[in-house]
């Protein structure tokens, strides 16, 4: 298939097949992220013995995704999407195994190492949304991208709710019950990697290049992208700059609030408060809290992914700018609801759902706008830079959220997120207004 002339291929058929394969891989790999997000902060506190390290797993995971986003993009640039995506998923599989080992050995260091390897899977999942638009026409880029984002819903929502079934599996395998969910994670990541390795042929990125250069004898191999060249391409385009701000800020706010919510709920249900300084309950003594936390994180992840096709449709029909504005508007509402309702688990859950919805809108619209606002020669590099900065924002949010929670409380954490979301919202409204005025002039 890789040696077949591009003229003998139907690009639309390859595009549909690629989106289906990418969606299947997202579904399977989503189980890994769901389990990690729901119990990562609890395991970190339990294994380290200190609340200060509550956000460490989320931080190392998102930081790893940031560090490896550009190398994976370079790998895709040189060898195609399939190679880059499979490499990330295989590394994440190793991460899931290390997470299991950390629980068995009681090792905080192994927990962090597992989170680092799982971060490569996060980078691969982010890259998959761009792979969905390599062959897409302009009118359906939002739809194609959102379909792949949506596909992670089932696995990601199932992940947090595999805590109790995972405990049964862990016990049956002779491991501590809390290690069980990572068995499901490892299985899902293995199947996702296998699906793309054997199925993603022809490679959508390589085929799109062959189609673009067909008949040209002067086609050159792709250049090695750098952070500097990617940032230069973004700075040269105001729409690309808005798109980057939209996705990076949305990701940072979402990670900061989401990563501390399990700990806040655990303390709330146990009858303690963030400012009390009392020792929290151990993981083994928090069965009721784990159920509530699992449900809350599941609904949050559902908000992130379940309505992705709707956001894709809005992005294509209402426009990129309008969807970015709607996404950041929802982020602002979300932190208000969660912050003011910090003492009510139900209101915190509503806030987390809205947080996921806002993230989805900002990410889908922003990613679509970014992909079409830079030269094709710089597109993959810019996408890697975007994912790098998204990961860095998430890592910063995860690293500082524990400190903010300890010093300003859950409401203070949400207030800080609201300030950032409001700033980008103002930028987007201004950019949309100027664009409308320029068009009508």
For residue 49, what is the DSSP state?
A: S
**CA dist., res. 426 & res. 424, Å (int):** 5
Give me the architecture of the 10-208+225-440 domain, per CATH: Up-down Bundle (1.20)
One DSSP character per residue, 242-296 reads HHHHHHHHHHHHHHHHHHHHHHHHHHHHTT--TTT-PPPPPGGG-HHHHHHHHHH
Using the CB atoms, write b or e for 372-395: b if 16+ within 10 Å: bbbeeebbbbbbbbbbbbbbbbbb
pLDDT of residue 160: 63
CA–CA separation, 379 and 209 (whole Å)? 12
Q: Which residues of the chain have pLDDT under 50?
A: 1-4, 7, 218, 220, 272-285
Tokens of 88: 């990330």
Q: What pLDDT, on a 0 to 100 scale, did the predictor assign at position 38?
A: 64
What pLDDT score was predicted for residue 222? 57
End-to-end alpha carbon distance in the chain: 50
The DSSP code sequence of 1-23 is -TTS-GGGS-HHHHHHHHHHHHH
Tell me the domain boundaries of the chain.
Answer: 10-208+225-440
HSE (side-chain half, CA atoms, 13 Å) at 133: 27
pLDDT for the residue numbered 349: 93
| DSSP label of 222 | P
**Can you give the pLDDT at residue 150?**
86
- pLDDT of 428 reads 97
Would you call 36 helix, strand, or coil by DSSP? helix
* 419 within 8 A of 87, measured Cβ to Cβ: no
Q: What is the pLDDT of residue 82?
A: 96
**What tens digit of pLDDT does each residue of 98-121 get?**
988 998 899 999 999 999 999 899
How far is the C-alpha of 341 from the C-alpha of 354, rounded, in Å?
A: 13
382 vs 86, 117, 207, CA distance in Å? 20, 23, 19
Instruction: Show the CA angle centred on residue 301, arms to residues 160 and 347, nearest 5°.
Output: 95
Helix (H, G, I), strand (E, B) or coil at 132: coil
Cα(62)–Cα(306) distance, integer angstroms: 22
Q: What does the alpha-carbon distance between residue 161 and residue 166 come to, in Å, rounded to a whole number?
A: 9
DSSP labels for 88-129?
HHHHHHHHHHHHHHHHHHT-HHHHHHHHHHHHHHHHHHHHHH
The confidence score (pLDDT) of residue 29 equals 87
pTM for this model (two decimals): 0.77
- The DSSP annotation for 316-328 comes to HHT-HHHHHHHHH
Specify the pLDDT at position 426.
97
Q: What is the DSSP string of 150-206?
A: HHHHHHHHHTGGGHHHHHHHHHHTTS-GGGTHHHHHHHHHHHHHHHHHHH--S-HHH
């Amino acid at each position: 298939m890789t040696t077949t002339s591009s003229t003998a291929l139907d690009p639309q058929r390859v595009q549909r097949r690629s989106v289906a394969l990418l969606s299947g891989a997202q579904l399977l790999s989503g189980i890994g992220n769901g389990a990690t997000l729901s119990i990562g902060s609890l395991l970190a506190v339990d294994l380290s013995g200190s609340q200060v390290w509550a956000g460490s797993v989320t931080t190392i995971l998102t930081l790893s995704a940031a560090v490896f986003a550009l190398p994976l993009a370079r790998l895709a640039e040189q060898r195609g999407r399939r190679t880059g995506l499979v490499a990330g998923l295989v590394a994440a599989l190793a991460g899931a195994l290390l997470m299991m080992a950390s629980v068995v050995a009681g090792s905080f260091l192994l927990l962090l190492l597992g989170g680092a390897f799982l971060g490569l899977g996060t980078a691969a999942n982010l890259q998959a949304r761009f792979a969905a638009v390599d062959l897409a026409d302009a009118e359906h880029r939002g739809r194609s991208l959102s379909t792949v984002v949506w596909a992670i819903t089932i696995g990601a929502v199932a992940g947090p709710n595999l805590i109790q079934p995972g405990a049964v599996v862990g016990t049956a395998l002779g491991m501590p019950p809390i290690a069980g969910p990572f068995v499901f994670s490892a299985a899902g990541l293995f199947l996702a990697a296998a699906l793309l390795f054997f199925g993603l042929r022809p490679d959508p990125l390589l085929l799109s290049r062959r189609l673009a250069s067909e008949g040209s004898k002067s086609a050159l191999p792709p250049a090695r992208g750098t952070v500097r060249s990617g940032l230069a391409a973004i700075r040269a385009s105001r729409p690309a700059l808005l798109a980057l701000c939209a996705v990076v800020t949305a990701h940072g706010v979402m990670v900061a609030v989401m990563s501390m919510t399990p700990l806040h709920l655990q303390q709330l249900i146990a009858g303690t408060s963030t400012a009390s300084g009392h020792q929290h309950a151990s993981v083994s003594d928090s069965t009721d809290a784990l159920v509530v936390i699992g449900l809350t994180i599941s609904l949050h992840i559902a908000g992130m992914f379940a309505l992705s096709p709707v956001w894709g449709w809005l992005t294509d029909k209402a426009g990129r700018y309008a969807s970015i504005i709607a996404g950041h508007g929802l982020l602002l509402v979300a932190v208000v609801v969660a912050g003011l309702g910090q003492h009510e688990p139900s209101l915190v859950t509503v806030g987390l759902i809205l947080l996921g919805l806002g993230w989805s809108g900002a990410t889908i619209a922003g990613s679509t706008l970014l992909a079409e606002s830079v030269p094709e020669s710089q597109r993959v590099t810019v996408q890697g830079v975007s994912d790098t900065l998204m990961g860095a924002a998430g890592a910063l949010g995860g690293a500082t959220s524990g400190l903010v929670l300890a010093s300003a409380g859950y409401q203070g954490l949400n207030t800080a997120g609201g300030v950032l979301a409001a700033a980008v919202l103002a930028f987007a409204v201004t950019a949309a207004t100027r664009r409308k005025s320029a068009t009508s002039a």
